[in-house]
Structure 1
């Protein structure tokens, strides 16, 4: 949902109406006959054998690679250069013949990854935000859109015992309430989808009791959102001994969920947390079941675990997640380096939930980090990253040395103009006002002694999860 200035000028009641009208439009778009068809496929596939999963994946892989050879310029050139023939693929392991794809390759030549046999009018444009600070435009085919929302319903919500027909609260990155607003309501209602959308940008000791009262009044069955946004409410519930009895599940998304944060959220809300892993690139989907195991959704992608030389690691060992999407024909990614880490179990002995979906041992994403605002609000990396949907930014880093300001290091292309800078500052001010923002343009961002770059460095407090 793109929010323009006119929205913020409306009274709250009309903002709620606008959000609900948009929700009604999106509900019709998401939950159509194609959605129902692919939902049934996902439900049926939950209980087929591992051998059948592998066979189905191989069929999807061959079909995708043939499509890439015929219609996607980047892969046409790559396959010709390395002498790779998709028709000769006989095993999933044959993927190893294709080099790993880096995000920078896509950023430098995005049009080369778009299928030439499909109309742009049949595609949906989305943007990554990610804590790398390097935004990437990704096209989804309209048919793939139905798969995404079928996944949410069957594998994500279904595993948690809830559905899209249940009342829910969201704590993610949309700026439906500007950061400058000082008084509640810090949320808006989407009546069409029984949704209470709560701001991730107003969470401090003074405001959190209002959030709790709103949740108690709305009575959602579940919450979905960033753990960095949900955990402060959980801490308040623990301290105050208050409760929200209607909530039976919390779905954590878009950020690394540590054991400590999971424990806090489960204790505060007195229910189970379900972890979800996905991305705008949609090269992989992983969801937690009611028995506490992570399951890969094999229809969406192939997840390889590689070492630092791009060789497969033994099951049980953590490595880099390199993934191949199997369903999005508009903009395919083959052997895409996600920047996250994970591991398969040494032995997949099945799960007590009864699903035969492959088990994933662990997800080792980037740790949560925050900016601290003068009034005590903490704004997490996932929420902040939604401001960086700006063209011509290669890389960024946020450094906070004082409670009233933040420095943003930017590596930009030659096409980066003043209007790009003004747009970025405008989006950030919606989220972190009244922090003063200072931009510094650099040729590269030094990682220091760390192999992995920290996107947010906050020297004002010890807050990192």
Structure 2
């Protein structure tokens, strides 16, 4: 599907980005930004992806996320230091890989803030970025169609929905309203009159907070309290349970030193393959057995779990990381 925006809607989108930057404490127009995501362009053409690309105004540094090997990450870190960034914005997985590489090298790089979007910000991503960059991490929720957008504030207790521009709802699989708890997110956009989207299913599952709830930051927007993953990022157990990616990082939560990165593959036969990149404390037999057991216990299921050890987990062609892959 192709989405159409007019000039007014483009201004609304920019206002949402400005609010996000303001919540994070950075100046959208004065601070120097490094953007970590996608494929950089230079002179209207795709640039190489193994080095940073400066914007024409020389106040933005673009780091591509489609080829983040250790050698490329080391080159990116040199570019980052040479550029002198004030803050970072980009894909959560790409920003995390930079942070993880810094920590693996025993280094840090101070920033005002890290602003993440586009793919899921897992707790271990946030922890690594906070340690590596010495600052807060502020997540943004949105889609290409901008039907439902929300920004994280300094309280880090959910994301404030941009309620001036949309009416969010949660529904069950039959399309009936869900009054409490996690449901499928749908939204009616109030600003894009060129292509109105009414009760549009954004493809994610999540939970909405109450209206007019107080937040320590002083704002009173309704919040998006949690995201449970995309509809196509759901594991189904033999017992009939459906589990989203927001929960599936839990088995690795206490194994950070043993597991550097992970990805679930739900095979066509219904079983799971858990791909992992070894961490510094990895012990092959013990770690793999503990992980398989932890996944089954977390899912409360007898589902078959195989653990596959890999050097790296590739991103999709757009540079984003996919935590759950479903084989057809």
Query: What's the TM-score once normalised by structure 1's chain length?
Result: 0.49
Matched, 1:311 2:176: yes
CA deviation profile, 1:367-413 (whole Å, cap 9, x unmatched): 596999xx966542482579xxxxxxxxxxx9xxxxxxxxxxxxxxx
| Aligned 8 A contact 2:140 2:152 in 1 | yes
Equivalent residue, structure 2, for 1:148: 13
| Aligned 8 A contact 1:189 1:197 in 2 | yes
What runs of 5+ residues in structure 2 fail to find an aligned partner?
A: 231-244, 246-261, 265-274, 277-309
- Distance in 2 (CA, whole Å) between partners of 1:248 and 1:212 is 17
- Distance in 2 (CA, whole Å) between partners of 1:382 and 1:254 is 14
SS at 1:207's partner residue? helix
Q: Classify 1:212/1:384 alpha carbon distance in 2 versus 1 (closer, same or farther; 3 Å).
A: closer
Matched, 1:274 2:209: no
Matched, 1:261 2:196: no
| Aligned 8 A contact 2:210 2:223 in 1 | no
Matched, 1:244 2:244: no
Equivalent residue, structure 1, for 2:35: 170
Equivalent residue, structure 1, for 2:294: none
Q: Classify 1:361/1:193 alpha carbon distance in 2 versus 1 (closer, same or farther; 3 Å).
A: farther
Matching residue within 82, 96, 111 for 1:217: 82
- Distance in 2 (CA, whole Å) between partners of 1:201 and 1:456 is 21
Structure with the bigger percentage of strand: 2
Matched, 1:323 2:187: yes
| Aligned 8 A contact 1:255 1:365 in 2 | no
- Distance in 1 (CA, whole Å) between partners of 2:69 and 2:14 is 32
Q: Classify 1:144/1:382 alpha carbon distance in 2 versus 1 (closer, same or farther; 3 Å).
A: farther
Q: State the aligned residue count.
A: 250
Matched, 1:301 2:166: yes
Matched, 1:352 2:216: yes
CA drift at 1:201: 2.0
Query: What's the TM-score once normalised by structure 2's chain length?
Result: 0.68
Equivalent residue, structure 2, for 1:203: 68
Q: Classify 1:163/1:216 alpha carbon distance in 2 versus 1 (closer, same or farther; 3 Å).
A: same
CA drift at 1:357: 1.4
- Distance in 2 (CA, whole Å) between partners of 1:268 and 1:157 is 20
CA drift at 1:365: 2.7
Q: Classify 1:313/1:327 alpha carbon distance in 2 versus 1 (closer, same or farther; 3 Å).
A: same
Matched, 1:383 2:247: no
Q: How does 1:13-412 map to 2 (within 5 A)?
A: 136-153=1-18, 155-165=19-29, 166-176=31-41, 186-192=51-57, 194-245=59-110, 247-293=111-157, 294-315=159-180, 317-345=181-209, 349-366=213-230, 367=245, 378-381=313-316, 383-384=318-319
Coordinate RMSD, CA, aligned: 3.1
CA deviation profile, 1:35-86 (whole Å, cap 9, x unmatched): xxxxxxxxxxxxxxxxxxxxxxxxxxxxxxxxxxxxxxxxxxxxxxxxxxxx
- Distance in 2 (CA, whole Å) between partners of 1:243 and 1:268 is 5
Pair member with larger Rg? 1
Equivalent residue, structure 2, for 1:55: none
| Aligned 8 A contact 1:283 1:302 in 2 | no
Provide runs of 4+ in structure 1 moved above 3 Å: 175-182, 345-349, 366-372, 375-379, 453-457
By relative contact order (CA 8 Å, sep 6+), the higher-ranking structure is: 1
- Distance in 2 (CA, whole Å) between partners of 1:381 and 1:355 is 36
SS at 2:70's partner residue? coil
Structure with the bigger percentage of helix: 1
What runs of 5+ residues in structure 1 fail to find an aligned partner?
A: 1-135, 387-397, 399-452, 458-465
